[in-house]
Structure 1
């Protein structure tokens, strides 16, 4: 990835770093054919660590080769802090061959962290593996997003950050029917008569016990285990009821949040649909659950502690694939073109002319260019309570991509424009410290066409730090929010927190100072 796309990714990482909460630890891991980390271990978010990471993001380039994700992810898991929740942001534009191995790594790491680990992924460009991006996010209980080479990723990655720093809702459950089913009854364990073993037996193989796997479930839900549901994302759950099972008139989704139980009831309006499209989609999701080891067969309480044979999974997947005409690990399509061999007519035509190229002699100097390889890996970012990792990009010789390059001279940007550019926002946020403060400086005052604090005495804000924070917040509200609210909302929140700290957590003083700043910024913007 060259030119504009890498520039946009670098800017998105910078904005992500600016938006991190103060009480987190973070790291940046760049990867490709090899990988390296900015810090040896996750560092507390401070002025020093922030500036170092920001410089790293600004200087990031495509020099990491192909895509190798397993080892950098393994390093991140092994070096993350165990005393706080971990969120990982994986950005890639490549493909790998060992998706299953990566998924197993994520699942095992999640178990070690007692489910205090989440992984969010963004796929970039047309060549990225959707299977990779979606599989790792499902295994990591996050979600996946995709962007094109010409699309900005700022809004999507900041949406992920907002969801990552919120404690997830857990233990989701959906009530599909009011009928009492055998599926939900407690499992009774009957004692197994084991054969008597002689004290002098040389056989070291333990006797086998016949484990009957429970498969006759009357409500097939897919996914069987409902993952965390995040604001701004779509989630679909399917349910196939056995004949004779009546659904509720109102289905209920329940879960457990940090503040206690939550519940959502949805009225069910029966609609007769023609065909079997919904059933096919449900079957596809059931197959996905079976292949990933998260189906009702694997996770039902009646099968707890039992070894699920691969032959049973294969049988279940094959039945679904054949019934609903779906391709899977064990089913595929075979197309047969049936033709009538009868000769209809014979057409005679003159032989076609062929143009044979004449090759230049071997001694003639020629210039040729190898095709530019598609870039493979991108950024991976991880934060603890959010930890940030970043992935590297495929190397390219020092060539400039004139088509994708954003050749905007920031010095010519109109900072008062009611339709500002994203580059204006980035330039303004350069004035903000890691803790959200906008410190007094010549550069800050010149942004508003002033020289110093005295030029703002007429506003009526006597504290210089309070003035700068109030002006910055008013500028973001009035100039930036209409177009880039999602991109700057978290930086605005950090500024508001810093302002509250300056006025002694007095909400009334915050509003008073902010209103004074708003009046001036509105007048200044209209000049």
Structure 2
């Protein structure tokens, strides 16, 4: 059931939010975002404007103020119930008041109430937050300004408890957006990309370490604004020490210096060159109605569910022999292909692929909690580490409950999560991966799902890092208090952040050292970072606020009782930390009251819900959102009778055609289907050959290396499996290499084999073979 998220038109009532201005400042991998929301009441009665909108789930909201005429009112952070009472009291007495609250169900949804805006009056609301930028598969740093807040599915037993959201199609959003960004880093900025049109990047110095960029004219706030920022030599460990707030008491979080360490562990090549041949891979696919949306706004593109099916094909073909797997799908209910995970074989693979090909976005809402409970109820298979892959567009409202469940079971598995499309919940996607010891990915705009999923599969096939510990070497008289939770997972080349409070005195010339020790494939390893204890200037308490946010999130994720209630001691600690640092939490709110307004505002107060963009919704999805299953069935019949056809599945591209023909063992069969996938006739491929399967597999590998190098990250694992099969099958290595050299006659003239492949190393590790 959807919770007050119907599609409405703006003609029914005026909307007082007129424009949003956003200024982004990026320093290395940390961003400060300042949003100004401009309101105007054109009605003849006082208004209360309520705007429910998304923010990144790990953002630290640290400033909230309102300007009316020449008067600025800066909000304070207070315990949530106290703030609500002050807001209600202010409205009752005719005063202007402003309330900003974080949702108790999900930390990426906020509610802003602008109370008692008189007729003809304007108000500007200033909201500021800081956030760490996530590292993408191609080493870009991702910033996302959420514009789309999808309807959040609410489980049946919780209906009425969630936040109230008013949504309109993106084309009807009545307010505009202006967006500009300034980027600075110790390393040169190589490029900035976006899913939206940008004006050209402007460098501010000759070293190209500072640059500005802004949205091109004419942008409509109808989709998320995503920036990808690329630096040269991005994988450099860094340390930032920030001085405490002068007005704060020494010994407190805000009064002491705080250090932020950014580490990029490098694992021994001997370990990384091997790929695990075991594991239990559980794939959990969202089949709710919204998965029937297009992957982007371009006409003729595939839907999310069809892209997910193609991705599952690639993922399943890339799994190693000897592993176990199962596939779950969910909506209002859930299904699984096998009663329990089965061993990976040609038979089980074919059975799974048939079921995957039939999967549609036809299971209604997005109830992810129950399938997760069922997965965790299954006993783990000895010596087969469980790896959970979750694919969803993230439209749930019980986010914290879902993440808590993953956290409770984190000792038995790693969780890799994928947010699909605009409006997916960053709190859910990031939370699943963080608490599940895995990795999160977002697929938006024109992104292809396949390369991002295959990167996560490579992470899953890496040996699990165990016995992780962090030790500090600091000058005498300086002690350290960790603000970050213990590191539970490390991946090759992926960033790990550590926040810590430093108490005591030291000279500006003093240095500290942090050592991360761990065990990898049974071998002890470590990474070290030396750093200066001299505080950096002009950091604006950004590091303190991010450290406070990290600690607040850790406390909020602590155990709750059967009713989901926190211990009063934990709640008190969060409130104290939130008030001290000025950073939002689920137990506090920002409250601002205009006490300088002497004359009370008269007249009945009218509430106006400001709509936010939801995605372009297909007729089928719209039917699913507002009809029962019986009505959906009948409307489907009526639609088909009236000539409305469900879009046909797009044809698979040549790569996916070839992948679909690979066997579980890694080989291909020499048949007309393979010839068609390679773009050749049966006669052209049936040349003299060592054996049919060997020849077919060599043909497929040569085609991949010759024509699909631009998508190598997608097929690399299944190619490794094919090469492994060849190594165990071919009895005469010299014969096979000669056969490979002859293949260039089969393909087009522009296929330059010697430049594409080192043939002497193609099948064998020993270059002399």
TM-score, normalised to structure 2's length?
Answer: 0.49
Mapped pair 1:77 → 2:376:
yes
Match of 1:437 among 667, 671, 689: 667
Q: Give the SS at the match of 1:372.
A: helix
Q: Deviations over 1:206-240 (max 9, x none)?
A: xxxxxxxxxxxx42223231021223643322122
Mapped pair 1:33 → 2:298:
no
Match of 1:124 among 413, 420, 423: 420
d(CA) in 1 for partners of 2:555 and 2:417?
23
d(CA) in 2 for partners of 1:469 and 1:371?
42
d(CA) in 2 for partners of 1:24 and 1:291?
36
Offset of residue 331 of structure 1:
1.9
Offset of residue 249 of structure 1:
4.1
Q: Give the SS at the match of 1:312.
A: helix
Matches within 5 A, 1:487-506: 487-504=714-731
Q: Deviations over 1:171-211 (max 9, x none)?
A: 222333245899xxxxxxxxxxxxxxxxxxxxxxxxxxxxx
Answer whether contact 1:442 1:452 (CA < 8 A) is retained.
no
Answer whether contact 1:42 1:80 (CA < 8 A) is retained.
no
Alpha-carbon RMSD: 3.4
Offset of residue 516 of structure 1:
4.5
Mapped pair 1:473 → 2:698:
no
Q: Which runs of 5+ in 1 are unaligned?
A: 183-217, 295-308, 344-368, 377-394, 411-422
Specify whether residues 181 and 434 from structure 1 end up closer, same or farther in structure 2 by C-alpha distance, changes over 3 A only: farther
Q: Partner residue of 1:290?
A: 555
Q: Partner residue of 1:103?
A: 403
d(CA) in 2 for partners of 1:32 and 1:245?
57
Answer whether contact 2:690 2:736 (CA < 8 A) is retained.
no
Q: Which runs of 5+ in 2 are unaligned?
A: 1-290, 295-302, 560-565, 601-618, 627-631, 754-769
Q: Partner residue of 1:462?
A: 690
Offset of residue 154 of structure 1:
0.9
Q: Partner residue of 2:96?
A: none
d(CA) in 1 for partners of 2:318 and 2:706?
20
Larger of the two Rg values belongs to structure: 1
Match of 1:372 among 622, 625, 638: 622
Match of 1:276 among 528, 532, 541: 541
Offset of residue 160 of structure 1:
1.2
Specify whether residues 248 and 116 from structure 1 end up closer, same or farther in structure 2 by C-alpha distance, changes over 3 A only: farther
Mapped pair 1:253 → 2:516:
yes
Q: Give the SS at the match of 1:334.
A: strand
Matches within 5 A, 1:111-510: 115-148=411-444, 150-178=446-474, 218-231=479-492, 233-244=494-505, 248-269=511-532, 270=534, 272-274=536-538, 275-293=540-558, 310-337=567-594, 339-341=596-598, 372=622, 409=651, 423-446=653-676, 447-452=678-683, 455-457=686-688, 461-481=689-709, 483-504=710-731
Greater RCO (CA < 8 Å, at least 6 residues apart): 1
Offset of residue 431 of structure 1:
2.3
Q: How many residues align?
A: 412
Moved more, 317-326 or 228-237: 228-237
Specify whether residues 46 and 334 from structure 1 end up closer, same or farther in structure 2 by C-alpha distance, changes over 3 A only: same
d(CA) in 2 for partners of 1:256 and 1:526?
44
Offset of residue 64 of structure 1:
0.8
Q: Give the SS at the match of 2:516.
A: strand
Specify whether residues 272 and 509 from structure 1 end up closer, same or farther in structure 2 by C-alpha distance, changes over 3 A only: farther
d(CA) in 1 for partners of 2:736 and 2:526?
36
Specify whether residues 455 and 370 from structure 1 end up closer, same or farther in structure 2 by C-alpha distance, changes over 3 A only: closer
Specify whether residues 450 and 508 from structure 1 end up closer, same or farther in structure 2 by C-alpha distance, changes over 3 A only: same
Specify whether residues 230 and 510 from structure 1 end up closer, same or farther in structure 2 by C-alpha distance, changes over 3 A only: farther
d(CA) in 1 for partners of 2:738 and 2:554?
55
Q: Partner residue of 1:204?
A: none
Specify whether residues 109 and 251 from structure 1 end up closer, same or farther in structure 2 by C-alpha distance, changes over 3 A only: closer
d(CA) in 2 for partners of 1:513 and 1:268?
56
Answer whether contact 1:176 1:252 (CA < 8 A) is retained.
yes
TM-score, normalised to structure 1's length?
Answer: 0.70
d(CA) in 2 for partners of 1:373 and 1:333?
39
d(CA) in 2 for partners of 1:276 and 1:49?
55
Report which of the two has the higher share of strand. 2
Q: Deviations over 1:254-299 (max 9, x none)?
A: 21111311111223245513120111111110111122139xxxxx
Specify whether residues 290 and 464 from structure 1 end up closer, same or farther in structure 2 by C-alpha distance, changes over 3 A only: same
